[in-house]
């Protein structure tokens, strides 16, 4: 990866930060993120009320949250397919890999969010700056299975997942803003 000074030898970081094109880019990014948030906001209750609703031809839904033996609440399982709740979360990051938001930090409320896309794999890291919880999510392309969704090293519960979605609806700030 090239250093900033190699990419822009005659420009300081301050120049780039205050450049009109950068301000326009940040404004567009924030508008895009607002659309993503509006999608979650308008569908969250429907997805949680009926996570197995199937609106396509193909394999049936396999829910992403199950109660394992000797446990008292629903936790994430990697054996899932097109669970509407997880799909809603993944839709939030749908345009990030092709847009200008790729591989940078986004601040939403108390959350610091990074989405990275490499060789068709999606990696999302979310850090809650208040509770100090760290979330890590992985999935391949835009297929129906989510491989990993952990909170602080263990499978996330359905309760914590919904709380995270609610927090993702807060005020947005783009890195460099």
| pLDDT number for residue 26 | 77
Question: What count of other Cβ atoms lies within 10 Å of the Cβ of residue 28?
Answer: 14
Mutual angle of helices 84-92 and 20-49, in 10-degree steps? 180
pLDDT in tens, 38-83: 999 999 999 999 999 988 888 999 999 998 877 778 999 999 999 9
Dist CA 168 CA 149 (whole Å): 16
Q: What's the pLDDT at 174?
A: 77
How does DSSP classify residue 79? -
pLDDT at 2: 46
Q: Please tell me the predicted confidence (pLDDT) of residue 100.
A: 58
pTM: 0.83
Domain boundaries, the chain: 12-174
Separation of alpha carbons 33 and 41, rounded Å: 12
pLDDT of residue 5: 47
Question: Are the CB atoms for 129 and 107 separated by under 8 Å?
Answer: no
Residues in the chain with pLDDT < 50?
1-5, 7-9, 11
Inter-residue contact 57 to 139 (CB < 8 Å) = no
């Amino acid at each position: 990866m090239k250093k900033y000074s190699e990419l822009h030898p005659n420009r300081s970081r301050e120049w780039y930060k205050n450049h009109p094109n950068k301000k326009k880019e940040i404004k567009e990014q924030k508008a895009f993120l607002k659309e993503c948030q509006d999608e979650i906001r308008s569908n969250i209750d429907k997805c949680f009320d009926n996570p197995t609703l199937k609106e396509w031809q193909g394999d049936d839904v396999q829910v992403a949250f199950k109660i394992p033996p000797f446990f008292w609440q629903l936790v994430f399982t990697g054996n899932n397919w097109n669970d509407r709740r997880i799909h809603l979360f993944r839709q939030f990051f749908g345009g990030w890999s092709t847009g200008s938001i790729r591989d940078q930090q986004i601040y939403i409320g108390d959350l610091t969010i990074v989405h990275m896309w490499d060789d068709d794999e999606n990696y999302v890291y979310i850090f809650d700056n208040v509770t100090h919880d760290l979330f890590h999510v992985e999935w391949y392309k835009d297929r129906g299975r989510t491989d990993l969704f952990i909170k602080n090293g263990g499978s996330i519960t359905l309760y914590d997942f919904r709380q995270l979605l609610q927090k993702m609806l807060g005020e947005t700030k783009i890195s460099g803003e």
